[in-house]
């Protein structure tokens, strides 16, 4: 069993994931160390900051915090940032609802309900599933984006 850091992530002491910034001498651009994808997925599954793993993503309900309370990483790097998360949420919800609906067609006489009642139940199921998956899709979208383009948290003086 490997040891755990303060954020509860398993880590190998030989594998150091640093947040150091290096300047590429040829291009003059900043380079960030990309964290391992498995680490990002674990943090996203627990609704934690992809940078430090300690800060939570949601204040309450469906309200996303503006930034991490521990490392100050912005959870909203640009306007319309979570549109991709909404698309993922819609795609997964629609796929699951259609697959379960098609499977239910194999057993047409399983319930005595009318077609209108069944349609209302499917609509309710789709809405509930979409709401249940909202936090997960936002968290995985933030984690995936952070893995693809790691960014440094802004210092507390540069928030204005």
Instruction: Give me the average pLDDT of each 10-residue run along the chain (160 residues).
Output: 52 40 64 81 93 89 89 88 92 92 80 83 92 93 89 62
153 Cβ partners below 8 Å, 6+ apart?
A: 51, 67, 68, 71, 72, 73, 74
Establish if 57 belongs to a structural domain. Answer: yes
User: Looking at the whole model, is its pTM more than 0.75?
Assistant: no
Establish if 95 belongs to a structural domain. Answer: yes
Which pLDDT score is estimated for 11? 47
Establish if 156 belongs to a structural domain. Answer: no
Q: Which two three-digit tokens encode residue 80? A: 């319309």
User: For residues 66 and 58, what is the distance between their CA atoms, to the nearest angstrom?
Assistant: 9
Q: Which two three-digit tokens encode residue 79? A: 């306007």
Establish if 133 belongs to a structural domain. Answer: yes
Establish if 88 belongs to a structural domain. Answer: yes
> Using N-to-C axis directions, what is the helix angle for 83-104 and 115-148, rounded to 10°?
140
Establish if 48 belongs to a structural domain. Answer: yes
Establish if 14 belongs to a structural domain. Answer: no
Contact 22, 30 (CB under 8 A): yes
Q: Count CB atoms within 10 A of the CB of residue 141.
A: 20
Which pLDDT score is estimated for 137? 94
Buried b (16+ CB within 10 A) or exposed e, 121-132: eeeeebeebbee
- Of 106, 99, 107, 105, nearest to 125 (Cα)? 99
Question: Domain limits at 136?
Answer: 21-151
Establish if 74 belongs to a structural domain. Answer: yes
In the chain, the number of structural domains is 1
């Amino acid at each position: 069993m490997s040891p755990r850091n303060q954020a509860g992530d398993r880590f190998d002491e030989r594998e150091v994931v640093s947040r150091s910034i290096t300047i590429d001498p040829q291009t003059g651009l900043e380079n960030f160390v990309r964290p391992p994808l498995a680490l990002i997925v674990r943090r996203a599954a627990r609704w934690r900051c992809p940078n430090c793993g300690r800060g939570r993503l949601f204040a309450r309900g469906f309200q996303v915090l503006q930034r991490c309370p521990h490392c100050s990483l912005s959870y909203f790097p640009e306007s319309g940032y979570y549109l991709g998360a909404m698309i993922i949420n819609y795609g997964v919800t629609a796929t699951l609802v259609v697959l379960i609906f098609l499977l239910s067609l194999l057993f047409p006489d399983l319930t005595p309900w009318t077609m209108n009642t069944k349609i209302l139940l499917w609509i309710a199921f789709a809405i509930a599933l979409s709401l249940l998956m909202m936090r997960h899709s936002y968290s995985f979208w933030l984690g995936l984006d952070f893995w693809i383009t790691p960014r440094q948290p802004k210092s507390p003086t540069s928030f204005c």
